[in-house]
Structure 1
Amino acid sequence: MRGLASILSRLWRIPMTGLCFVLFGVGGVLLSLTWFNLLTLFVRDKCVRRRVARRSISLSFRFFLSVVKYLGLLDIQIHDAESLRRERGCLIVANHPSLIDYLMLASVMPETDCLVKSSLLRNPFVCGAIRAADYLVNSQSETLLPQCQQRLANGDTLLIFPEGTRTRPGEKMTLQRGAANIAVRCNRNVRIVTIHCTEHMLGKQCKWYDVPPTRPVFTVTPGEQVAISRFSDAPGQEPALAARRLNQYLLQQLQNVKPPMAGLNDASALS
């Protein structure tokens, strides 16, 4: 009976996963064509428009993830979400195992900034949200560091996935040095966040219909806040060397993501 229940569960989750992809795509296009365009037209203050857009994105992600959970496609546990909401003026650095990592974090961090790939500006499903929220784009190399400095100084949190793309299963994790360079040169602390999933789903080499035999559980766990002074305050420490040392430390913390302890049940409302 258990085997039959597993088969029936998987047969249900495959079409429902496709439905959720359609829901996300249609929702993204509709929000871009209507709500985010209205914000651009009628909210002239750029800071207010950015704040409203980011909160709107957070609410829409919470709704979408609630639908995904209601349909039984996956479970989500976000531990100590309040500590993430309280963060100000620091970098949030996370590993990147799946397609929904940003959705989970942004759903509980309604005003976070994000460093996005320039290719997403050509994606009709998310480009409107990116522009309305005024996210930082990684192709703006000449102005990126000053923009990061200004936003972090204003109390923004900046979310970065230093792998640059989703983790490739079976391959050794590598981190780009951008996040470490920003932290060192802007003199800002780094909060490490680890994301664990019980099954391989929505990863780099997964198709949407690659549904695992059992319903996966995603767990988001905030880790330590790394004081940047540990890496930048040494006598004669050059910024490039400090960034290299910080990057190595982040790699050590992120490359061996382990399942959360069973006793950690202080999850957010998304659980």
Structure 2
Amino acid sequence: MRGSGLNNEMSSLPNRIWRWLATGFFFALFGIGGLLLSLIWFNLLRLVIRRPDRLHRMTLNSIRSSFRFFLGGLRLVGVMDYRFTGDEKFQQDAGCLIVANHPSLLDYVILASQMPRCDCIVKQALLQNPFLSGVIKAAGYLVNSGSDALLQACETRLKAGGTLLIFPEGTRTVPGEPMTLQRGAANIALRANCDVRIVHITCQPPMLTKRGKWYQIPPVKPQFVITVADKVKAEDFLNESDLSPALAARRLTQHLRNELMRGNTQDNEK
């Protein structure tokens, strides 16, 4: 377990103003940092590292380190806090699909800061973002273009030992609304016949939600709790002889939904 304990005391007005200013600063820093990585650091790496596999590894390590620096800054100035439970399990997840719920804009940053390797599927629209497109291309993230080729690319990445992170809801959770999962994660897991690691994320009070703006500061400092749970074996659904591929994907999706909802219920009761 990592991180500090939770603090539910109501913050003062000066504290809220400070968190509002600091949030704006770090929001801008994230974009500028992505631009600097793309224009300067990744180009320097390409000049000194010739082996493609080593260059890719160093690129991912650079992204992970920058995320840790970013989150450390957010914690240091009191914008938010977070703690992991069971994050050592990530060391066992080469060739594994990681699925997590998605309450906040920071979820990917938090998970990628702790995973030894994090391949990711990103929206095609992000390639038009001048602050992030260079990072996406350098990291070799898979782009969700809606084509069947994505399934093949995911299978290839997983069978090569990658660790693929997916938020199966497809977008950030809307607080208070039921969780709905798309079947993409199940289809990938069944096609690659890989294990699926379940990760539960809670954030209280909510921060950077789908309908929330960065400047809408919660009344108290948000606390993220990330619980790395057990794995689900895709082969258990493939081996049910009465299932067609479509029905297997449907049942696996329902199982993943139940696991993600059960984890969030347990976290909220703590």
Q: TM-score, normalised by structure 2?
A: 0.91
Question: Who is 1:204 aligned against?
Answer: 210
Secondary structure at the aligned position of 2:197 is classed as strand
Matched, 1:36 2:29: no
Question: Who is 2:3 aligned against?
Answer: none
Task: Mark the CA change 1:223 to 1:207 in structure 2 (over 3 Å): closer, same or farther.
Answer: same
User: Match for 1:160 among 160, 166, 170?
Assistant: 166
Question: Who is 2:228 aligned against?
Answer: 222
Question: Who is 2:176 aligned against?
Answer: 170
Matched, 1:94 2:94: no
Percent identity reads 52
Secondary structure at the aligned position of 1:32 is classed as helix
**Aligned residue pairs: how many?**
262
Question: Who is 1:258 aligned against?
Answer: 265
CA contact (8 A) 2:11 2:220 kept: no
Q: Please state how far the C-alpha of 1:255 moved relative to its aligned partner.
A: 3.1
State the one-letter code of the partner of 1:96. H
Question: Who is 1:47 aligned against?
Answer: 53
Task: Mark the CA change 1:62 to 1:4 in structure 2 (over 3 Å): closer, same or farther.
Answer: closer
User: Match for 1:9 among 12, 15, 30?
Assistant: 15
Q: Please state how far the C-alpha of 1:258 moved relative to its aligned partner.
A: 2.8
Task: Mark the CA change 1:41 to 1:108 in structure 2 (over 3 Å): closer, same or farther.
Answer: same
Question: Who is 2:84 aligned against?
Answer: 78
Secondary structure at the aligned position of 2:217 is classed as coil
Task: Mark the CA change 1:4 to 1:78 in structure 2 (over 3 Å): closer, same or farther.
Answer: closer
Matched, 1:145 2:151: yes
Name the CA distance, whole Å, in 2 between partners of 1:112 and 1:24: 18
Q: Please state how far the C-alpha of 1:113 moved relative to its aligned partner.
A: 0.8
Matched, 1:131 2:130: no
State the one-letter code of the partner of 1:100. L
Task: Mark the CA change 1:144 to 1:11 in structure 2 (over 3 Å): closer, same or farther.
Answer: same
State the one-letter code of the partner of 2:123. K
Question: Who is 1:242 aligned against?
Answer: 248
State the one-letter code of the partner of 1:258. T
- Cα offsets for 1:149-183 (capped at 9, x unmatched): 22211211110001111112232221111000000
Name the CA distance, whole Å, in 1 between partners of 2:229 and 2:210: 24
Secondary structure at the aligned position of 1:159 is classed as strand
State the one-letter code of the partner of 2:162. D
Alpha-carbon RMSD: 2.0
Q: Please state how far the C-alpha of 1:261 moved relative to its aligned partner.
A: 8.2
- Cα offsets for 1:135-158 (capped at 9, x unmatched): 111116232222222221121111
Question: Who is 1:269 aligned against?
Answer: none
Could you tell which deviates more after superposition, 43-52 or 2-11? 2-11
Q: Please state how far the C-alpha of 1:200 moved relative to its aligned partner.
A: 1.1
Task: Mark the CA change 1:5 to 1:190 in structure 2 (over 3 Å): closer, same or farther.
Answer: closer
CA contact (8 A) 2:9 2:220 kept: no
Structure 2: state its 5+ residue gaps.
1-7
Q: TM-score, normalised by structure 1?
A: 0.90
Matched, 1:63 2:69: yes
User: Match for 1:103 among 96, 109, 126?
Assistant: 109
Question: Who is 2:26 aligned against?
Answer: 20
